[in-house]
Structure 1
Amino acid sequence: MAAFKTLDDLSDIAGKRILVRVDLNVPVSDGKVTDTTRIERVAPTILELSGKGAKVILLAHFGRPKGEPVAEMSLKLIAPAVEQVLDHAVLFADDCIGPAAADAVAGMQDGDILLLENTRFHKGEEKNDAEFTRALAANGDLYVNDAFSAAHRAHASTEGLAHHMPAYAGRTMQAELEALEKGLGKPNRPVVAIVGGAKVSTKIDLLMNLVKKVDALVIGGGMANTFIAARGTNVGKSLCEHDLAETAKQIMIEAASAQCAIILPVDGVVAREFKAGADNEVVDIEAIPADAMVLDVGPKSIEAINGWIERAQTLVWNGPLGAFEIAPFDAATVAAAKFAAAQTAAGKLVSVAGGGDTVSALNHAGVADDFSYVSTAGGAFLEWMEGKELPGVAVLSKGA
Structure 2
Amino acid sequence: MKTLDDLDVKDKKVLVRVDFNVPLKDGAVTDDTRIRGALPTLIELLDGGAALVLVSHLGRPKDREPELSLRPVADRLAELIGTPVKLAPGVVGDQVTALANALEPGGILLLENVRYEPGETKNDGDLADALASLADLYVNDAFGAAHRAHASTEGVARRLPHAAGRLLEREVKTLGGILEHPKKPLVAIVGGAKVTDKIAVIDRFMHVADTILIGGAMCFPFFKAQGHTVGDSLCEAEGVGPAKDALAQSRMDRSHLELPIDLVIADRFAAEAEHRVLDGVDVPDGWMGIDIGPRTAQMYADEIAKAGTVFWNGPMGAFELEPFAAGTRAVAEAVAACEGTTVVGGGDSAAALQQFGLGDRVTHLSTGGGASLELIEGKKLPGVEALR
Bin of the TM-score, shorter chain as denominator length: over 0.9
308-317 or 95-104: bigger deviation: 95-104
Displacement of 1:55 in angstroms is: 0.8
- Residues 154, 386 of structure 2: 8 Å contact kept: yes
Q: Secondary structure at the match of 2:39?
A: helix
The SS at the match of 1:201 is: helix
Equivalent AA in structure 2 for residue 79 of structure 1: A
Q: Which runs of 5+ in 2 are unaligned?
A: none
The structure 1 segments of at least 4 consecutive aligned residues displaced by more than 4 Å after TM superposition are none
Distance in structure 2 (CA, Å) of the matches to 1:107 and 1:287: 67
Partner Cα distance (1:71, 1:330) in 2? 36
Q: Compared with structure 1, are the counterparts of its residues 215 and 146 closer, same or farther at alpha carbon in structure 2 (3 Å cutoff)?
A: same
Alignment partner of 2:32 out of 26, 30, 36: 36
User: Counterparts in 2 of 1:1-400, with a 5 A limit?
Assistant: 4-11=1-8, 13-66=9-62, 68-276=63-271, 278-343=273-338, 348-396=339-387, 398=388
Output the amino acid matched with 1:10.
L
Give the SS at the match of 1:192: strand
Aligned-pair CA distance for 1:243? 4.9
- Contact (CA 8 Å) 2:196, 2:238: kept in 1 or not? no
The CA deviation at 1:326 is 1.9
Q: CA deviation at 1:185?
A: 3.6
What does the per-residue CA deviation read over 1:263-282, in whole Å, with 9 as the maximum and x for residues that have no partner?
A: 00111222323333644333
Letter in 2 for 1:379: G
- Alignment length, in residue pairs? 388
Query: Which structure 1 segments of 5+ residues have no match?
Result: none
Please give the alpha-carbon distance, in whole angstroms, between the structure 1 residues aligned to 2:202 and 2:315. Answer: 15
SS in 1 for 2:153: coil
Greater alpha carbon shift after TM alignment, 72-81 vs 275-284: 275-284
CA distance in 1, matches of 2:117, 2:361: 40
Pairwise CA distance, 1:349:
1.0
On the 8 A contact 2:85/2:110 being kept in 1, the answer is yes
Larger mean CA deviation between 77-86 and 102-111 belongs to 77-86
Distance (Å, rounded) in 2 between the aligned partners of 1:307 and 1:77 = 44
**Deviation string, structure 1 residues 4-49 (Cα, Å, up to 9, x no partner):** 22223334x2211111111111112222222211111112211221
Identity of aligned residues (%): 44
Between 161-170 and 182-191, report the one with greater CA deviation.
182-191
Residue deviations 1:344-387 (CA, integer Å, cap 9, x gap): xxxx3111112321112112232121011111322212222322
With the length of structure 2 as denominator, give the TM-score of the two structures: 0.93
Q: Which amino acid aligns with 2:378?
A: G
Q: Which amino acid aligns with 2:243?
A: A
Q: Distance in 2 between matches of 1:266 and 1:232?
A: 14
Distance across 2 between alignment mates of 1:284 and 1:47 = 54
> Cα deviations across residues 274-320 of structure 1 (Å, max 9, x unaligned)?
33364433333255433332222222212221232133211110111
RMSD of aligned Cα (Å): 2.0
Structure 1 residues 281 and 65: CA distance shift in structure 2, 3 A: closer
2:264–2:293 CA contact under 8 A, matched in 1: yes
Q: What TM-score, normalized by structure 1, do the two folds share?
A: 0.91
For the residues of structure 2 that align with 1:213 and 1:299, how far apart are their CA atoms?
28
